[in-house]
Structure 1
Amino acid sequence: MINRIPRRRILLGGIAVLLSGCASKFRSYTGPEVTRLRLYKSERLLVLDGAEGVLRTYPVGLGFAPEGHKQFEGDGRTPEGAYLIDRRNPDSLFHLSIGISYPNEADIAFAAAQDKSPGGDIFIHGGPRRGIDPMNKRDWTAGCISVSDRQIEEVYAMVRDGTPIEIYV
């Protein structure tokens, strides 16, 4: 009986190590290259395209003021237009995130003409943290694009920096 306790602990410890390896938020992807992302704001749909067509689609949440193009810091809008995926954040407050190159030169010039900041730090990221129920409040970000944590793991693995993203009304 005494010999079983150490064996049981070793066995359970081994199982825990194996399961923790499966729980990593960093996935690998060996499929076709993602050549472009398309976001349709009115449909709340993110599309990942490859050379041969659509690879994946995801339902999304947007900024808390989803109508219209982001113009100023704090307006709660998600940008519209042509941008690039320009960075990734493995330590995001929202599980994982990939950055969008907003603001571009036109965004900066427009905001400057109004003597305001265009804002920045627009990301595609994982789901909301405590206190935000995505089922009751779909558009909850400050202008970012949200997907579930599982979905951002896929997107993070599939999309490379420099990939174009087109954001439509």
Structure 2
Amino acid sequence: MSNFSRRQASLALLALLAACGKFGPPQPTRGATPQFKRYSGPPVTQVVVNKADRRMFLLNGQTVLRSYDFGLGNQPVGPKQFEGDGKTPEGLYYVDRFNPRSRYHLSVGISYPNELDKAYAAQFGRSAGSDIMFHGRGQEGKVLAPKKRDWTAGCLALTDQEIEDVYAMLQPGVPVMIYP
């Protein structure tokens, strides 16, 4: 293929991607901060997670914008109740933080534990745990996750490319409903 033909094919591909209007090239960054994708589609108004089906949906109203398969905590059945139980929470939470330097590529935090989670754990004299995230599998090309599907301490694990999309699409305060 000639250089001219390759260039035409590359430009056609870029035009096609631009027409989709969802993701753009990574934004320039400073220092050691990762490069970020940009999202220009409709805003995500809620995240719905179905643990049993291992499926997460990013919605705008009732319209599914994107959906992803994921891995759960290493004890996937039942709601998270205590620190170290290996379970993923169930219930209503909110996106509350973003970590561009996560050891699992990128991560998006949810507001676990809420007041009900803390109160439940406290009645047993235990901690409810914390730092529940959507995150990738590794950092700088190193896969930190084991080969099995459910391996986290309670987080939802996506591929590194998928967490880049999710990280770009979500904003603080977006509700996250996690169903059993």
TM-score grouping bracket, smaller chain normalisation: 0.7 to 0.9
RMSD of the TM alignment (CA)? 1.4
Range 125-134 or range 41-50, more displaced: 125-134
Identify the structure with the greater strand proportion: 2
Match of 2:76 in 1: 66
Give CA deviations for 1:106-147 in whole Å, capped at 9, x if unaligned.
00000000000000000000014546444xx00000000000
1:92-112, Cα deviation, whole Å (9 max, x unpaired): 000000001000000000000
**TM-score under structure 1 length normalisation:** 0.82
Corresponding residue number in structure 2 for 1:165:
176
> Which of the two has higher C-alpha Rg?
1
**After TM superposition, where is structure 1 displaced by more than 6 Å over at least 4 residues in a row?**
none
Q: Does 1:103 align with 2:113?
A: yes
Contact 1:25 1:153 in 2 (8 A): no
| Deviation readout 1:16-51 (Å, 9 max, x if unpaired) | xxxxx7xx6410001000000000000000100013
| Matched-pair identity in % | 51
Aligned pair partner of 2:40 in 20, 23, 30: 30
Measure the CA separation in 2 of the matches of 1:163 and 1:30: 17
User: Alpha-carbon deviation of 1:52?
Assistant: 5.2
By relative contact order (CA 8 Å, sep 6+), the higher-ranking structure is: 1
Counterpart secondary structure, 2:37: coil
What's 2:91 paired with? 81
Structure 2 residue ranges without an equivalent (≥5) = 1-27, 29-33
